[in-house]
Amino acid sequence: MDLKKRKELQRELRAVENTYAGTLDWLELGELHSWVEAGNSPCTNPEQVIHEDGTFFDFIEWHRTARWVPVREPFDVSGPSDRELFDFYTDRRSDHGSFEETKKFLRDAQTFLGCEILTLMDFLREKGLLYAYLHYKYPERLTGEEELPF
């Protein structure tokens, strides 16, 4: 992503954060930042949902109205494994998979892993283990009143 686009996305991100100042929880903020870091505008949404007047939902509006249902793919023996897909899309020595296909695959993988990490952090927080984990993982960074690393 070029510098001009990155600056524009950061400007849009600040505007959306200001619009929702004080109402964003850590999950929404993390998802919003992941969406923008993947090169997407915070003024759009993954499903391209629009208002009645034809304007797009911004990412937070979409996130708050989305129905979060876990998707379970049917077991299919004939399809490639996740590892085979990853190897296929990331092996640049091969002649398969365009650059755009690879970027899309990696963006999808990043989004999936980001959601998994946020779910794990939420679970640890609910069990009262998040700060214990963070102190274990970042002992020198979390002394006193310092900010958490996320």
Map out the domains of the chain as residue ranges: 1-69, 81-150
pTM exceeds 0.75 for this model: no
**Spatial distance between the Cα atoms of 68 and 147, rounded to a whole number of angstroms:** 30
Nearest to 35 by CA among 118, 134, 148: 118
Whether residue 77 contacts residue 90, with contact meaning beta carbons closer than 8 Å, is answered with no
Phi, psi (rounded to 5 degrees) for 50: -125, 155
**Spatial distance between the Cα atoms of 132 and 139, rounded to a whole number of angstroms:** 10
One digit per residue, the tens of pLDDT, for the chain of length 150 reads: 688 999 999 999 999 999 998 898 888 888 889 889 889 999 998 888 888 888 888 999 988 887 665 555 555 556 677 777 776 666 656 655 666 777 777 788 788 888 888 888 888 888 888 777 777 777 666 555 555 555
